[in-house]
Amino acid sequence: MNRLRALSLALACMLTALLLTACDRQEVQTRTYTVGMEATFPPYEFYRGTEIVGIDVDILKEIGRRNQVQFKLEDMAFDSIITAVQTGKVDVVASGLTVTEDRRRQVNFTRSYAGAKQVIIVPEGSSVKGVDDLKKVRVGVQHGSSGDTYVTEHICEPERYTNGALAISAMNAGKVDAVVLDNAPAENHVAGSHGLIILPEAVVEEEYAMALRKGNDDLLTMLNLTLDEMEADGTLAAIIERHMRENTPETEQQADSMAGRLADDFRTDFVKNERWRYLADGLLVTVEIALAAALIGIALGFLIAVVRSTADLTGRLRVLDWFCRVYLTVVRGTPIVVQLLIIYFVIFGSVDISKVLVAMVAFGLNSAAYVAEIIRSGIMSVDRGQMEAGRSLGLSYGTTMRSVILPQAFKNVLPALGNEFIVLLKETSICGYIALQDLTKGGDIIRSQTYDAFLPLFAVAAIYLCMVMLLSHMLKKLELRLKKNER
Ligand code: ARG
- Report pLDDT digits (tens) over 288-345: 999 999 999 999 999 999 999 999 888 889 999 999 999 999 999 999 999 999 998 8
Q: Is 96 in the pocket of ligand 1 (CB under 6 A)?
A: yes
**For residue 30, what pLDDT is reported?**
81
Given a cut of 60, is residue 59 above it in pLDDT? yes
Any idea which of 194-208, 254-268, 424-438 has the lowest mean pLDDT? 254-268
Identify the CATH number of the domain defined by range 114-208.
3.40.190.10
Contacts with 472 (C-beta within 8 Å, 6 or more apart), sequence order: 418, 422
Q: Is 78 in the pocket of ligand 1 (CB under 6 A)?
A: yes
Q: Is 74 in the pocket of ligand 1 (CB under 6 A)?
A: no
Distance 214 CA to ligand 1 centre (A): 20
> CA angle at residue 15 from 13 to 19, to 5 degrees?
120
Distance 19 CA to ligand 1 centre (A): 43
- Report pLDDT digits (tens) over 84-104: 999 888 999 999 999 999 999
**For residue 55, what pLDDT is reported?**
98
Contacts with 116 (C-beta within 8 Å, 6 or more apart), sequence order: 96, 98, 182, 183, 184, 205, 206, 207, 208
More confident residue, 20 or 416: 416
**For residue 25, what pLDDT is reported?**
43
Given a cut of 50, is residue 26 above it in pLDDT? no
**For residue 250, what pLDDT is reported?**
63
Fold observed for domain 274-486: MetI-like fold (1.10.3720)
Mean pLDDT of the chain: 90
Percent over 70 (pLDDT), the chain: 93
Q: Is 98 in the pocket of ligand 1 (CB under 6 A)?
A: yes
**For residue 4, what pLDDT is reported?**
52
Q: Is 162 in the pocket of ligand 1 (CB under 6 A)?
A: no
Atom of ligand 1 nearest to the CA of 144: 12
Q: What is the pTM of this model?
A: 0.78
Pocket test for ligand 1, best of 55, 59, 85, 142 (most atoms within 8 A of CB): 142
Determine whether domain 31-112+209-246 maps to CATH 3.30.390.30: no
- Report pLDDT digits (tens) over 104-136: 999 999 999 999 999 999 999 999 999 999 999
Residue 130 contacts residue 119 (beta carbons within 8 Å)? no
Q: Is 41 in the pocket of ligand 1 (CB under 6 A)?
A: yes
Given a cut of 80, is residue 279 above it in pLDDT? yes
Distance 56 CA to ligand 1 centre (A): 12
Distance 32 CA to ligand 1 centre (A): 24
Nearest to residue 204, comparing CAs of 151, 248, 162, 257? 151
- Report pLDDT digits (tens) over 433-461: 887 889 999 998 888 888 787 899 999 99
Percent over 90 (pLDDT), the chain: 71
Distance 98 CA to ligand 1 centre (A): 7
**For residue 433, what pLDDT is reported?**
84
Atom of ligand 1 nearest to the CA of 38: 10
> CA angle at residue 457 from 452 to 461, to 5 degrees?
165
**For residue 24, what pLDDT is reported?**
47
Distance 286 CA to ligand 1 centre (A): 28
Distance 183 CA to ligand 1 centre (A): 11
